[in-house]
Structure 1
Amino acid sequence: MRKRAFIFGSGYVASFLSQRLREIGYIVYCTSRDKPHDKFTVSFYNQDYLETLLATADVILSTVGTDDNVVDPVLHRYRNSIYLSRAKWIGYLSSTGVYGDHDGKWVNEYSACNTNSKKGKLRLKAEKYWLSIQHNIHILRLSGIYGPMRNCLEEILKGRQHTIIKQGHNFSRVHIEDICQFIISSISNPRDGTIYNVSDCTPAPLHEVHNFATKILLRKNLEAVPLEKANISIRKMSFFQENRQVCNRRAMKLRNGNWTYLSYKEGLLQGCLPYLSNI
């Protein structure tokens, strides 16, 4: 009998992961808050049918974000069904944003979670809520996600003119393909209650990544704008208020050191450039 996977959400990660799981033989269902467009997409609000699918799922993953009113919309509605499921692997996609500011130092899964942001604090509450199920739970803290159709090459081609500089500030990121491959590896090696940092090996300043992208596209470097003079949203500004470098040693160990895109350079050149349609 073919294995079944159930994914809450139908966004960027869910779409890529669904494809990868189907390639290795899974039947995959995803939820949507909009009208389902095929038989493998289920309305998040179709509770009876959804609970039936959860009961027979071998894998359950939530890619759904937090909610101001209920912390976690998935567990608010389906906690008992998830707890009673036969799934041998249950995952929740969180964020490395829960670590908050560490003055540029490295953080791992044992590091203090110093987040001061509302979103980060909600993520921490959601993590604890998922871990309280105590039933084959895995927490995946993702760094900044990029990949085909979602990367700075696309942004530059669409007209991005400037980059932002803050000296000594690094971002960590992870390519969508490595997220998918890590999840598949974790499914094959379940470790109940484990938290993983899912990130590449090379934190880097934003302007360095942008400058590398312009070289790939054979363009001039973007205009460098100091952070204090940048006209950016409050949300984007919050990313610059926290500085840390994310250690992925635990995730790398599970993958036996196999990581497709170890840095943004491989990720942009090999994992994004071939998919650009407008150059």
Structure 2
Amino acid sequence: MTRAVIIGCGDTGQRVARLAADRGWDATGIVRSAESADRLARSAIAAQAVDLDQPDPDLPDADLLFHFAPPPRTGDDDPRMAAVLAAYAHRPPRRLIYIGTSGVYGDCGGDWVTEDRPLNPITDRARRRAAAERRLADWPGAVVILRAPGIYGPGRLPIERVRRGEPVLDDADSPWTNRIHIDDLAAAAIAAAERGPDRAVYNAADGQPTPMGAAYRAIARRLGLPDPPTISRAEAERDWSEMRLSFLRESRRLDNHRLRDDLGLVLRYPDLNSGLDASLPARG
């Protein structure tokens, strides 16, 4: 039986675990705490609590290793990835699938971006992800990388911001933004495990980028609310947090042809409208 180990078994990992079970694989989710392991167990997902920040983490054998755990929030490296690779150095899995971020491309001036574009991360969080990719480049086993943008789905939408009427950036000043529905990301991870060639990299996006405010307007309309007010970039620079402003400084449009063509992946939610219809609570 194929042994699938999912490191960082959160929302996406749980979906992967269920898809793995559908295929008859033996899936184990790795989480940080015993409480999280108990929650997975109550969802009928085998789980093990492992702290990747401790020396020599005790990780189970794997045929397929899904690495979804984020790096630490500080520094310019990913020591958690280093710890995982060290743990499997003498018992490498058949394939390692890593979900990273499209942030490793940095600002592309709104250009369409394929997987061949050189990495140019401009934020610390993206530099940590780029460092994880560099570690994987030296890994002797088979590796497939999924570079994901914003992940959305049920419970992963800015509904309260929309209800409060928080302003969004005017489209004229807005960068392009990209997204992937969480169910499609899980399906992409399974497809990468089953069919992705060694060292393949995929933009795991729906291929339908929009200005930043489009999602907020679409959510508002589905909730029967007025469109959010808009502000200029200068007003945003004055009023928004540094974290939120960092997303204004990068603009790119992710090309997903390789994901669909090479893996034969048919997205269940190929655009924002179809994904929101499946993600928002029903009105009534």
Normalising by the residue count of structure 2, what TM-score does the alignment of the two structures yield?
Answer: 0.86
* Alignment partners' CA distance in 2, 1:80 and 1:221: 50
Which of 211, 218, 222 is the equivalent residue of 2:224? 218
Q: After TM superposition, what 4+ stretches of structure 1 lie above 4 angstroms from structure 2?
A: 46-49
Q: Percent identity?
A: 23
Q: Distance in 1 between matches of 2:5 and 2:55?
A: 14
Q: Identify which of 172, 175, 194 aligns with 2:178.
A: 172
Q: Under a length normalisation based on structure 1, what TM-score does the superposition of the two structures give? A: 0.88
1:241 maps to a residue whose letter is R
Distance 2:91 2:261 in 1: 29
Q: CA deviation at 1:123?
A: 1.2
| SS of residue in 1 equivalent to 2:266 | coil
- Pairing partner for 2:279 from 253, 262, 272: 272
Deviations 1:155-211 (A, max 9, x none): 435x34322225252101110011011111111113111111100121001222221
* Contact 2:30–2:49 (8 Å) recurs in 1: yes
CA deviations on 1:49-70 (whole Å, 9 max, x unpaired) are: 833x2x2x22101111223458
Name the CA distance, whole Å, in 2 between partners of 1:235 and 1:69.
16
Report SS of the residue matched to 2:97. Answer: strand
Match of 1:229 among 225, 235, 260: 235
Structure 2: distance between partners of 1:15 and 1:154: 25
The CA deviation at 1:154 is 5.8
Kept in 1: contact 2:112–2:252 (CA 8 A): yes
Report the 3-state secondary structure (helix = DSSP H, G, I; strand = E; otherwise coil) of the residue aligned with 2:192.
helix
- Residue 112 of structure 1 corresponds to 118
Superposed counterparts of 1:39-118, under 5 Å: 40-45=46-51, 50-51=58-59, 53=60, 55=61, 57-67=62-72, 68=74, 71-85=77-91, 87-118=93-124
Equivalent position to 1:129, from 135, 158, 170: 135
The DSSP-based 3-state class of the residue aligned with 1:83 is: coil
Partner of 2:18: 19
Whether the 8 Å contact between 2:178 and 2:210 is mirrored in structure 1 is: yes
Cα distance in 2 for partners of 1:47, 1:60 equals 20
Judging changes above 3 Å, is the alpha-carbon distance between structure 1 residues 210 and 70 closer, same or farther for their aligned structure 2 residues? closer
Alignment partners' CA distance in 2, 1:129 and 1:47: 18
2:250 to 223, 242, 246: 242
Question: How far apart, in 2, do the equivalents of 1:16 and 1:152 lie?
Answer: 21
* Distance in 2 (alpha carbons) for counterparts of 1:82 and 1:10: 18
Q: Which residue of 1 aligns with 2:32?
A: 33
Instruction: Provide the aligned C-alpha RMSD in A.
Output: 2.3
Distance in 1 between the 2:263 and 2:198 partners? 17
Asked whether the 8 Å contact 1:62–1:74 carries over to 2, the reply is no
**What is the alpha-carbon distance in structure 1 between the residues aligned to residue 57 and residue 77 of structure 2?**
24
CA, structure 1 residues 277+9, in 2 after alignment: closer, same or farther (shift >3 Å)?
farther
SS in 2 for 1:28: strand
